Chain A
Amino acid sequence: MIERFEVEETNEMIEHENLDVRTITMGISLFDCVTPDLSRLCDNVYRKITDSAADLVKTGNDISEEYGIPIVNKRISVSPMALIGASACRKPEDFVKLAKAMDMAAEETGVNLIGGYSALVPKGMTESDRMLMESLPQALTSTDRVCSSVNAASTKTGINMDAVRLMGHVIKEVAEASSDSHGAACMKYVLFCNAPDDNPFMAGAFHGVTEGDRVINVGVSGPGVVKRALEKVRGESFDVLCETIKKTAFKVTRVGQLVAMEASRRLDVPFGIVDLSLAPTPAVGDSVADILCEIGLESAGAPGTTAALALLNDQVKKGGVMAGSYVGGLSGAFIPESEDQGMIDAVNKGSITIEKLEAMTCVCSVGLDMVAIPGDTSEETIAGIAADEMAIGMVNGKTTAIRLIPAVGLGVGDTVSFGGLFGSAPVMKVNSFDCSAFVNRPGRIPAPIQSFRN
């Protein structure tokens, strides 16, 4: 029999510590839509998405109501569009039409974002991949809900520097195309190394090519719950600290698992994975940076930050893995700049720099996420930052990514506001020494040796 204190604990987490299920994401394969006729392809894509996800939002809302747990986002990810559009698209503008079909389908189903306007190019690019990337400035500014990702590197293949260089250029163009909002369209685009096929989180979600026809993936959150639990063990040893994080991650993940199984059953779509990530929001008390402070740092970025984050990331996984039957996606702690009030404060105080963030990405689950950089940063410098991040992922066999926002018209000391869950970001200083001779070399960086790990 459930005890009163257990009910109170759960409801306290939901009401006061921002416990929520961050997203139910339905992955949909679009391979059966492929046809060389572009307008038929757009129709097929629209119909497949709207048919498959017709009940997604309602089901999410029903589950949320019945269990009393907020389910913040309902989203869709689709097969990488560079593959789906390969036989029908002859120019970048053709891909934009596909993006618009995705956008319309997302609006019809009521989801807030749709991912999968993506290309997988860790080793080489097809003409179709290139056209999709070149279409991004138009695609991301002429749609509201479409998110895009490019996987440009992996541990097995190395780093496709041609793609990284092209993306440096494209990120600048996307920023310029959305200059009225200081480059905000860039927040709908992410560049990956070792991208997971089953990530439910945006902007990087796409439906992997090895997945089934449809799948339900769920992303859980709960930085506030971990922070509150750690307040009770101040000054205790590392084993007590780790045990507390594990137990909390376990409880949070169990909720995600329950929601995932229930959504899968009601929608009659196979359950894929639970992504057990600590995903912060700009809400006060929902911050990963605050957890780092609770562990014992004056501010995120202080010496010890990387170690504290490594510990946090590992314990979240250890606690969560036991709570879920299938764990996947990005699982770990997210450290976005703009979506975490503690992180924003740390940037404003000068305690965290882009270089320290880069070091932190070696031990957390993502990369340089939602980081605003000066609008006049060159495309070569952006490619250089991207290459560094890809190298960290490639050598360490982990996912890394960049989601940079060149804040057009703004410089260090200014702040870009994105609104809602995306928060606002102080523009960070970027090392301005030139790397163009490096990033302009054609070709790719070979895959790293997997032995002699020093």
Chain B
Amino acid sequence: MEKVIITVVGKDTVGIIARVCAYLADNNVNILDISQTITGGYFNMMMIADASGVSVSYQEFVEGLKKTGEEKGVVIRCQREEIFDSMHRI
């Protein structure tokens, strides 16, 4: 399993989660966990997903994800889980 952490930050609008989830489904990426808050009108979501079956190259997948974010006016980052694991777990 290749776990990735996807974070979405930006002004809240209708359909952010829907758009991101649709993009993930289109690219055969399975969502494992979602948590989300809205503070002061700002949308903040963290998603753990399994990208081992991703149907395009990893680079293309991330590019497309970022573009999806731009269309909705939010910033999306996608990072492999190991960077957080290595920094925060002994």
Q: Identify the A interface with B (CB < 8 A).
A: 1-4, 6-7, 9-11, 62, 65-69, 251, 254-255, 257-258
Q: Which residues of A contact B83 (CB under 8 A)?
A: 10, 67-69, 255, 258
Which secondary structure characterizes the binding site on chain A? helix
A to B CB contacts below 8 Å, 24 in the list = A1-B33, A1-B48, A2-B84, A2-B85, A2-B88, A3-B88, A4-B35, A4-B46, A6-B88, A7-B5, A7-B7, A7-B46, A10-B83, A11-B7, A65-B59, A65-B62, A66-B79, A68-B77, A68-B78, A251-B87, A254-B87, A255-B83, A258-B82, A258-B83
- Report the separation of the CA atoms of residues A125 and B15 in the bound assembly, to the nearest whole angstrom: 72
Q: Is the CB of B87 within 8 A of A255?
A: yes
Nearest CB in chain A: distance from B46 CB, A:
5
**Which bucket holds chain B's interface residue count?**
20 to 34
Contacts of B82 in A (CB 8 A): 67, 258
CB contact under 8 A between A10 and B35, given known A2-B5, A66-B79, A68-B78: no
- Which A residue's beta carbon lies closest to that of B4? A66
Nearest chain A CB to B88's CB is how many angstroms away? 4
- What mask results when residues 62 to 85 of chain B are scored 1 for a CB within 8 Å of chain A, else 0? 100000000000000111111111
The CA of A258 and the CA of B89, in the complex, are separated in Å by 13
CB–CB A258/B5 < 8 A: no
Q: Name the residue of chain A whose CB is nearest to the CB of B81.
A: A2
Residues on B lying within 8 angstroms of A by beta carbon are 5, 7, 33, 35, 46, 48, 58-59, 62, 77-88
Name B62's closest neighbour in chain A (CB-CB).
A65
A residues within 8 A CB of B46? 4, 7
Rounded to whole Å, the gap between the CB of A189 and the closest CB of chain B is 36
The interface residues of chain B lying within 8 Å CB-to-CB of A66 are 58, 62, 79-80
**A257 proximity list for chain B (CB < 8 A):** 86
Please give, as numbers and ranges, the residues of chain B lying within 8 Å of A9 by CB-CB distance: 88
Cα(A62)–Cα(B80), bound, Å: 12
Q: How far is the CA of A318 from the CA of B88 in the complex (A)?
A: 17
Query: Chain B nearest CB: distance from A273 CB in Å?
Result: 17
Residues of the B chain whose Cβ atoms lie less than 8 Å from the Cβ of A258 = 82-83, 86
B contact residues around A68 at 8 Å (CB): 77-79, 83
Q: Are A254 and B86 in contact (CB under 8 A)?
A: yes
**Which of A65, A68, A69 has most B Cβ within 10 Å?**
A68
The CB with the most chain B CB atoms within 10 A, among A11, A65, A66, A257, is that of A66
Beta-carbon contact of A251 and B79 below 8 Å: no
Q: Using A1-B48, A7-B5, A10-B84 as known contacts, list a sample of 7 further A-B pairs with CB atoms less than 8 Å apart, ordered by residue number in A.
A: A2-B81, A4-B46, A6-B84, A10-B88, A11-B7, A66-B80, A257-B86
Smallest Cβ-Cβ distance to B33: which chain A residue:
A1
Contact B77–A11 (Cβ < 8 Å): yes
- Cα(A207)–Cα(B82), bound, Å: 30
| CB-CB under 8 A for A10 and B7, given A4-B46, A68-B79 | no
For B80, the chain A residues whose CB sits under 8 A away are 66-67
Per the bound structure, the CA–CA distance linking A12 and B20 in Å amounts to 22
The residue in A2, A3, A11, A251 that gathers the most chain B C-beta atoms within 10 A of its C-beta is A2
Residues in B with CB closer than 8 Å to A251 are 87-88
Structural contact, A10 and B59, CB atoms closer than 8 A? no
Query: Which A residues touch B79, using CB under 8 A?
Result: 66-69
- Shortest distance from the beta carbon of B90 to any chain A beta carbon, whole Å: 9
Q: Closest CB-CB distance, B73 to chain A, in whole Å? A: 18
Q: How far is the CB of B74 from chain A (nearest CB, A)?
A: 14
A6 contacts across to B, CB distance below 8 A = 84, 87-88
